[in-house]
Chains A and B, each alone.
Chain A
Amino acid sequence: MQFFTLLASIIPLSVASRLAISIPASAQIPQPASLSSSTYAILHSSGPSLTAPLTSRNTFEFGSLEPGSYLLSVYCRDYAFEPLRVDVSGEADEETVQVWQTFRGNAWDNKGELRGAGKDVTVDIRALGSNEYYQSRGGFSLLSFFKNPMILMSLFSLLVIGGLPWIMNNMDPETKAEFEAMQKQRREKPASSPSDTASQIQNFDMAGWLAGSSKDKRG
């Protein structure tokens, strides 16, 4: 029996440093409890990273961290979270944990505000926003429809075709007679200048017009 050592219920629990990251209810995540159990926090310094799953208290809990400088990131399917810098310093069982804001792509020493420090730290982590995975189909919108120059142009020509006879009818007789005389004169010109609007539309060189060339230039 001499092999057995009994440790009674009171063990001098030399609790090492403890870090808890908590997700508070926020505008982005009104109900942190609705997050999936596949949400994880990852601490990486070198070698295999340390991970902690989401607990039912909406926290990630890390116990007994080795001294070092860690990058903390969160994997979550539905939301993006800010990265944090975690520094653990000091001798064994006397470690201090410091949590800083950090900025991806900046020098490691370029740290932001201190979020928490001590032996047993609980720090809130901020959500940056929700993850949007899906591409939306370019649906039909009336505004973008009328913004299109092609539509504006065709609307203008519609106006001209529909509005011109109306203006003609409402002209005073003198001007009308003058206008008709002018038209008559034009019709008597050789057939090389087509006056028929219908045939003009039918023979319209759309490609040429779009390309910006005119008959004169080609001629």
Chain B
Amino acid sequence: MPPRWLLSAATSCLLPALLLGNLPSASAVFADEAYKSDFHLSLIGYPRNPDLTFFQAPYSGSKGSLLYTVTDKNVIAAVNPKDGSTVWRQLLEHNSSSPTESFLRPGPAQDVVVSGSGHKVEAWSAADGKQAWRNDVKSGQVRDVEVLQIEEGKEGAEKDVLALVQDEKTSILKRLNGKTGEVVWESLDTSGDIPFQLSSSLTTIFVVSYTSTLIGGNVKVKVASYDPQTGRNIDKQTLSTEIDISHPENIFVGANSAAPVIVWADTSSKTLKVNVLGSKSISSFSIDSPTGEEIRDVSVHAPHQPNALPHFLVHYQTGKTHWAEVFHINVKKGKVTKAYDLPKLSGTGAFSVSTIDANVYFTRVTDDEIIIVSSASHGILSRWPKKPVVPATQRLVLPHAVQASSEVVAKPGNTFAVRSVVLYSDGDWKLVKNGEEDWIRPEALAYADEAVFVDPPEDLSLALNLEVEGHENVVKGFFHRAKRHLHDLQSLPARLEQLPQLVLGSFFKKSESILVRGKRYGFDKILAIATTEGRLLGLDFAEGGKVMWNINLKALDPNEQWSPVKLDTAVAGTITVQGYQSKKVLEFNATTGLPLTPEQLVNRVAVATPETPARLSVYYDFSEINNVVQGYQSPDGIERQELWTFQPPPGERIIVVTSRAAHDPVASIGRVLGDRRVLYKYLNPNLVLITSVSEASGKATFTVLDGVSSNVLHTSTHVGVDTSQPIPAILSENWLAYSFTLNTSSSAASAKGSSLTFTEFYESSIPDDRGPLGASDEVSSVGKNDLSLPHVVSASYLIPHPLSYLTTTSTLQGITTRSLLGITHSSDYPTTLYSLPTNALSARRPVGRDPTPQEAMEGLSRYAPVFDLAPPWAINHKREIWGLKKVISSPSGLESTSLVFAWGLDLFGTVTAPSGTFDMLGGGFDKIQMLITVAGLWAGVLGVAPFVRRKQINTPWQMS
């Protein structure tokens, strides 16, 4: 066995040979780099309602509990309360266009949770999120789900589930078996009332419904009661007064308590009215706003346990202050009395209710403290001051608590501990444990709609200094420079101090994130994300998507919706946001999130004025209503001169218009063949790809236009296309790609599945020939050569998953081979982000024969109709990312590497190197081995030197 150094020496010699032999063709993730070169934010959205968020043990006998919630993104999630990570998630009815309600209740048995949404009632295993059972409501919408609370003989018996379903004019009450989900009984109500809520006491089931009266838009509330055993309707009564409120959502129905109540406040918020379900009487309480401020919101918090005390809390919120009143219900007499007030405090507060056995506790979260009181008396049981939130300098408005859910634990010695999950107005969902923030989930990002990579602001100080030195006279310049160097020297001791750490770190720090390490190579970009809620957030890409700032655009300009918006970055370090309605533009500093002041804007414009002569650009405009694409010129920026109009074939509808990205550099104008001849690429910066479909005939047409001359360069039509599925398309360099799903119910002869087509454009079909443009020095789209059509080669592949979005990786110079980035289409299971090598998709793969040696040298393999989306091409590797909708890429400072960011429900960011990291040492490079090799070679040279010297001296003496 040779010594180790020798082996190492040999391997380092081998390295170039190995590199030449097998350059990584795909951009698969290395096992040791996975989770270090990417980040994933697993999001859920805003919890719907504090009542639908609860702590529950995932299985009987579990020590800890999980936090379950259903959000207005219709996601049910089990969150680990220790660190805020999601244990499991399921998406309910995500694809329905109409906003659906969704409900989540702790299950009848402890190890399940029950959800209702759209037309499904489902039970999920609480520990791992697998489905326990499902009941499909054939038609109609689930309006409420409850767990039936009746004492049926023996303890621990399986409890059943109640579901309230609305099907147009009919409302159906169902009792489902808690173990199997099968229907025990159904009860139909055909009166046409709109069912609204379900509530059960220990003996009766109540269904609250309403009808709109003709006068003044008031509603009449009806309460029907049912026998839990048989489903027989016992009684239906209409509350004596009409409720003069505009939105039935403002009626609160306390469910599953010993005495369920209906509580509402009249429109003027002057009186609070309470009805105990089952009784006819309505108690009225006057609401007196102490300072006469207008009450903005009235919300009710009541325990959700049938054995808990029948107490409830009413929370009043005005613009500046909030307070609460606690009411007690006498179950026997059906009488409601006010017990006590919780004092008025400034700011916004959130209340939550929790129970320990029969005792009810209210937790109050205000801007600066958390208080627990018992429902029985107003004495404060515990109080924790809250740590002040982040220095206010970065925030325009301090966030306040919007809703909270709490778990109160009684400790020995009559002390209490509380953990509350609080949703703040800036979209952060936080767990506050005894006044201290435990974790934060930035749920505002679940609503991400548009995103853009922003370069960090350039440091121009050196450039400015050099300019000064260049323009001053020699002596002045010299002193300026000497002063600058002296100033630079000040940082030398600090640098020297860091040096040993830097050197050692480069050898032993293996766990460092590749994103953090890449900060020096331009990975330190800022992600600006606009949400559907009108927020703008700044994320640090290299720091794993850490939120740097979060602002509400609506607060800056309430006249604009700010959703959707157009995001752009004109100058490094700034973000431009343009609203769609008013076309108003706001600009922000990307590092701080602060709006740019007018003088900053003026300075910037002065610096950035381009000195290039104004070129006459052709723009295009796509009008969905008129179903046309128009190309126009606008020399003065105001007036439009129409150049051309494109109309699809009759019966077809244009769905999307694509053109080449602004940053789409091409490093090589030709493709080198195996025999060193060149096939010249057809490179036209003005290509426009128009996708049009015909729903009736299941046809999709892809038309490639020259955007200046409007010549149609290429058209392809596909039949049997499922037009209801996404049809993504991308145009880059000299190729285009599009994908669609084949309709399995059309002709039986064709194959089914999804299809991906890759089309390449060349100047001529003959290598080393530049086609009709060959001899000309200048090329014009509108000149005499305007009819020169490109040579088009195209290949279609069947892919196993439909794709919903396509784009391409992007690098600085375009030397690196591009990869096609595609997101799989799915509305209820995790999506996958693929990075497909364009070489493998090449349209020039030989069909029906093996490649010739020359074609093999080019990297072409035999064409196969099925293109398997192989797992190594999934750049999200084992991370499960839900709901991805869009992906963008941006060049990094390294030519080999492209930054990729995808969003939808979750966020995912990664770096990918489609041709391998040829300009960066990979994780496989062993620096210690290299040092040993160098040392070994040096030792070898030293060891051999005496022999060589002796030989050289001896040789002349042996001449004799």
Known: A3-B191, A7-B188, A108-B748. A51 touches B828 (CB 8 A): yes
At the interface, yes or no: A107 with Cβ under 8 Å from chain B? Answer: yes
Cβ-defined contact, B189 with A69, below 8 A:
no
Which of A113-121, A128-136, A171-179, A211-219 faces chain B?
A128-136
Judge if A163 is at the interface, Cβ distance under 8 Å: no
Q: How far is the CB of B463 from chain A (nearest CB, A)?
A: 41
Q: Which residue of B is nearest A3, CB measured?
A: B191
Q: Say yes or no: A47 contacts B923, CB within 8 Å.
A: no
Name the contact of B880 in the complex, choosing from A36, A55, A64 (C-beta under 8 A): A36
Contact across chains for B871 and A131 when beta carbons are under 8 A apart: yes
The one of A37, A73, A140 in contact with B129, judged by C-beta atoms closer than 8 angstroms, is: A37
Chain A neighbourhood of B129, CB < 8 A? 37-38
Chain A residues with CB under 8 A of B186:
7, 11
**Given A77-B880, A151-B10, residue A46 in contact with residue B748 (CB < 8 A):** no
A148-192 contact mask (Cβ, 8 Å, vs B): 1 or 0: 101100000000000000000000000000000000000100000
Whether the Cβ atoms of A37 and B744 lie closer than 8 Å is no
Report the bound CA distance from A54 to B724 in whole Å.
Answer: 26
- In the bound complex, do residue A145 and residue B28 qualify as a contact, i.e. CB atoms below 8 Å apart? no
Chain A at the B interface: SS class: loop
Range, interface on chain B: 35 or more
Contacts of B749 in A (CB 8 A): 107-109
Nearest residue, chain A, Cβ from B1: A142
Which residues of A sit under 8 angstroms from B190, Cβ to Cβ? 3-5
Is there an interface contact between A61 and B134, defined as CB atoms closer than 8 Å? yes
A9 B185 Cβ-Cβ under 8 A:
yes
Contact (Cβ within 8 A) B877 A56: no
Tell me the residues in window 912-960 of chain B with beta carbons closer than 8 Å to chain A beta carbons: 922-924, 948, 951-952, 955, 959
A37 contact set on B, CB distance < 8 A: 88, 90, 124-125, 128-131
Task: Mark each residue of chain A from 183 to 212: 1 if its CB lies under 8 Å from any CB of chain B, else 0.
Answer: 000010000000010100000000000000
- CA–CA, A69 to B189, complex, Å? 37
> Is B13 in the interface zone, CB < 8 Å from A?
yes
Closest to A138 in B: B18
Q: A145 to B10, Cβ gap below 8 A?
A: yes
Q: Which residues of B contact A106 (CB under 8 A)?
A: 751
Residues from chain B with a CB closer than 8 A to the CB of A7 are: 185-188, 231
Q: Does B865 contact A (CB under 8 A)?
A: yes
Q: Do the beta carbons of A108 and B872 come within 8 Å of each other?
A: no
Tell me the bound Cα distance from A109 to B923 in angstroms: 49
Distance (whole angstroms) from the CB of A182 to the closest CB of chain B: 15
Q: Shortest CB–CB separation between residue A87 and chain B, in angstroms?
A: 10
Q: Which residues of A contact B188 (CB under 8 A)?
A: 4-7
Give B722 Cβ to nearest chain A Cβ, in Å.
Answer: 5
> B720-757, CB under 8 A of A: which get 1 and which 0?
00101100000000000000010111101111110000
- For residues 855 through 903 of chain B, which have their beta carbon under 8 Å from a beta carbon of chain A? 864-866, 871-872, 874, 877-878, 880
Contact A8 B230 (CB under 8 A): yes
Partner of A196, one of B124, B830, B955: B955
With both chains docked as a complex, state the minimum distance between the C-beta of A70 and any C-beta of chain B, in angstroms. Answer: 6
CB closest chain-A residue, reference B88: A37
Chain B nearest CB, measured from A197 CB (Å): 8
A6, B18: Cβ atoms closer than 8 Å: no
A136 touches B31 (CB 8 A): yes
Q: Is B138 close to A, CB under 8 A?
A: yes
The yes or no answer to A48 lying at the interface (CB within 8 A) is yes
Are A134's CB and B872's CB within 8 A? Answer: yes
Interface 1/0 per residue, A41-58 and B, CB below 8 Å: 010111110010111100
In the complex, are the beta carbons of B17 and A150 less than 8 A apart? yes
Q: How far is the CB of B15 from chain A (nearest CB, A)?
A: 10
**8 A-B pairs with the lowest CB-CB distances in the bound complex, closest first:** A37-B129, A105-B866, A135-B28, A40-B829, A134-B31, A131-B871, A137-B924, A133-B877
29 A–B pairs (Cβ distance < 8 Å), ordered by A: A3-B191, A4-B187, A4-B190, A4-B233, A6-B230, A9-B230, A37-B88, A37-B125, A38-B829, A40-B829, A45-B743, A45-B744, A45-B745, A46-B745, A53-B130, A56-B125, A69-B744, A70-B744, A104-B751, A105-B753, A105-B865, A108-B748, A132-B872, A137-B31, A137-B32, A137-B923, A150-B17, A196-B952, A198-B948
